[in-house]
Amino acid sequence: MKLWFLVSFLLVTLLQPAQPALSATQPLRVVHAPYFANRIDWGTAAIFWFGRADVANGVAPIPGRNYADVRVAYTSSELQVFVSVIDYYLWHEYNPNTSSNPTSYDYDGVALYLDINGDRTTAPGTDDYVFLAKWGASGEEYSQPYQRQARGNGSAWNTAWNGSWRHLPGAQWSCNPGPNSNDCGLDFGWAVTFRIPWQTIGLSAPPHGRTMGMGMQLFDRDAPGSSGVAPVQTWPETLTTTRPDT
């Protein structure tokens, strides 16, 4: 039997019974994340998507927008969010800045925002978190330098917070040299899986039946220099990085 918790970025403070119509305080988008006692089956996980892939007649603009397919599920030990991105030009940092701001990035990557209490405060509180996965071409064992995180302190993001989590990167491209080169034509895309232990976000057990907040930023670079950086895409579209109530 599967249990559920609810995640949404437009939040309610308590899990409410079904209503005929949404009130001003209810989430406009709700993701019903399933619980898995063992291995997660991503084919039956919750799903949503955002963005779009810019391509026409086999040609993608530089920079161009990307499309993200997001799956959400949880286990007894952690929340998992799998993000698969269609990206025709793969670009990553060779030496990522381990002190960078987790709410902005100018290479390929994705940030996950969580509001654990769903209280929709106007500034990041201690129950608000952001996790930035900087996509890297190497495997999981090299992913640690490619991630940043922060926790709210009541007025802003505390980027010195270093809660434990990890992400699993992956990618595909059509021919070598692949990432950080557009000479070979169009690439296929990249993916990351966020794996966030419950203890890291202040919970002692899986939050069955809980309403939490969630938001995402999708970052993209398609060529060297500032002209190769694409505009940031967000879910929901109204997301403001310093405002959990958005």
45: amino acid identity, one letter = A
138: amino acid identity, one letter = S
234: amino acid identity, one letter = T
**Nearest Cα to Cα of residue 121 among 203, 210, 216, 11:** 11
3-class secondary structure, 201: helix
Checking phi first, is residue 117 left (phi over 0); if not, alpha (psi -120 to 50) or beta?
alpha
User: Apex CA 161: angle with CA 80 and CA 12, to 5°?
Assistant: 55
Separation CA 176–CA 49 (nearest Å)? 29
Which residue shows structure tokens 């070979």? 184
pLDDT of residue 98: 87
Domain boundaries, the chain: 4-235
Residue 173 has pLDDT above 50, yes or no: yes
Average the pLDDT over 123-130 and give the result.
97
Separation CA 74–CA 6 (nearest Å)? 11
| Residues 171 and 158 sit within 8 Å (Cβ to Cβ) | no
Residue 118 has pLDDT above 80, yes or no: yes
Average the pLDDT over 168-182 and give the result.
91
pLDDT of residue 196: 98
| Residues 59 and 32 sit within 8 Å (Cβ to Cβ) | no
List the structure tokens of 174: 């059509």
Q: Which pTM was predicted?
A: 0.89
- The CATH class given to the 4-235 domain equals mainly beta
pLDDT of residue 27: 57
- How far does CA 120 lie from the centroid of its chain? 19
Q: What are phi and psi of 27, to 5 degrees?
A: -65, 140
Strand pairing class (4-7; 211-219): parallel
